[in-house]
């Protein structure tokens, strides 16, 4: 089992305004930093065909 915690967006939108502000802040500190769309993570995680990915948001 693998748990990832991060600043993710879904379908190009952030889940909260604070996440959007944080995502704007991060690349200003380092261009390699910033949020990623969860679809990219899901696609990469499906490389092994046996992997089952479930999306769970802990932020209301």
pLDDT digits (tens, 9 = 90+) for 6-50: 788 888 888 788 889 999 999 999 998 888 888 887 787 777 666
DSSP state of 15: S
Residue 58 pLDDT grade (very low, low, confident, very high; cuts 50, 70, 90) = low
- Buried b or exposed e, range 16-55, using 16+ CB within 10 angstroms: eeebeeebeeeeeeeeeebbeebeeeeeeeeeeeeeeeee
- Neighbouring-strand partners of residue 8: 36
pLDDT exceeds 60 at position 60: no
Q: What is the pLDDT of residue 3?
A: 72
Q: How far apart are CA 14 and CA 37, in angstroms?
A: 9
Is the pTM higher than 0.85?
no
Of residues 58 and 39, the one with the higher pLDDT is 39
């Amino acid at each position: 089992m693998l748990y990832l915690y991060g600043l993710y967006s879904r379908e190009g939108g952030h889940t909260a305004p604070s996440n959007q502000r944080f995502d704007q802040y991060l690349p200003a500190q380092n261009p390699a930093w910033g949020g990623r769309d969860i679809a990219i993570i899901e696609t990469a995680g499906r490389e092994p065909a046996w992997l089952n990915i479930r999306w769970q948001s802990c932020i209301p």
